[in-house]
Amino acid sequence: MSLTIERDLSALRERGLYRSLTIFSGVDFASNDFLGLAHSPRIRAEVSAYLAAGGALGSTGSRLVSGESHQIRAAEKELAEMFLVPATLFFGSGYLANLGVTGALATPESEFFSDAHNHASLIDGMRLSRAKISVFRHGDLDHLQELLKRSSAGRKIVVTESIFSMDGDGPDLLRLKSMVNNAGAFLILDEAHATGVMGKTGRGCAEGVDFDFGRTFIVHTCGKALGGYGAFVATSAGLRDLLINRARSFIFSTAPTGVQVVQTLAAVRQVLREPELIHALRRNVESLRPRVAGAAGHILSILMPGNERVLAAAEILNKNGLFVKAIRSPTVREGRERLRVTVKSFHTEAQLMRLAELLHQVAR
């Protein structure tokens, strides 16, 4: 390794920013497997049946070359029906979906209006598009309204998440819909942390909100509550065609595999058929709420400013058998370092009590 690279790594260590790959052990309070579907026997059986019947392991190419199949077409049609939307389109991952949607929609006359806490994949997609980006204060729809009124852009695009990955909060979607419609804007809504767990039946925070899909993209990722990998975008048939023709992360990526498709469909079916999964998650959230300040949903942020402090706190929880990750700057703003805790449907009351006890201990 060159001396300059070693200096770079040493500087990261000195600032408490060095990262390494770890295999977690203990009670899972860190992953996004909110419903335990990553280990679902039912989903495993459906994937096994697909493989036993001779299903292909790989998709062999991009959708526009050799990766298109009757299976993926049927799956996208079924997902559209299950999510009560006009059309869907699979992507290899949520990151690729957000890159693709932002890039496909942007033109030289476009202006993005982006929540200050949007995920890196949305930020990267907007930057790569080279369109103008205006950032509104996190969750501040009044500020968004001001920016929209001031803008003379030929195409206005509002970009936000329904549940933010670090804070666990989200915007008022009914008000947001009205603002977007009045401005004649497009909306990109990332449902990554809501898919499978939010809404009346797990279809996400947008469930029951009558969005104009001729101007809306809703991104659902499959690697969190659905327990697999990949993503699908819900939109109109016309905007789906736009993605096929202009989303570079779709055009130039190998198509999702048959295993991904089978797993995704099986997971969505299980969520819709077994509402007790979501009920169990919500019961656990309610159980934790009075014990931990700020425990309003399935994602909790325990603020502990300073990289060294938050790392030490995470180490205490890990040594006590609870797997929790420290989130450091620059992933979050300096001074906003935190423990990110995720509640699951399968946590026991004893595990939740132990978590609350240890969080109080490390917060002192």
Residues annotated as catalytic are 32, 119, 161, 165, 190, 193, 224
Dist. CA 267–CA 265, nearest whole Å: 5
Structure tokens at 58: 């790989």
> Residue 238 half-sphere exposure, CB side, CA atoms within 13 Å?
6
Dist. CA 171–CA 142, nearest whole Å: 11
Q: Is 101 helix (H, G, I), strand (E, B) or coil?
A: helix
Bridge-based pairing of strands 216-221 and 186-190 is parallel
- Dihedral pair phi/psi, residue 94, rounded to 5°: -65, -35
Q: Is 217 helix (H, G, I), strand (E, B) or coil?
A: strand
Q: Which residues contact 310 (CB under 8 A, 6 or more apart)?
A: 304, 326, 327, 328, 337, 338, 339
Mapping DSSP onto H, E and C, the string for 158-216 reads EEEECCCCCCCCCCCHHHHHHHHHHHCCEEEEECCCCCCCCCCCCCCCCCCCCCCCCCE
Bridge-based pairing of strands 299-303 and 155-161 is unpaired
Angle at 81 between CA 229 and CA 344, to 5 degrees: 45
> Residue 323 half-sphere exposure, CB side, CA atoms within 13 Å?
12
Q: Is 48 helix (H, G, I), strand (E, B) or coil?
A: helix
Position 159: which residue type?
Answer: V
Q: Is 136 helix (H, G, I), strand (E, B) or coil?
A: strand
Structure tokens at 112: 């993005």
Query: What is the H or E stretch that residue 360 is in?
Result: helix 349-363
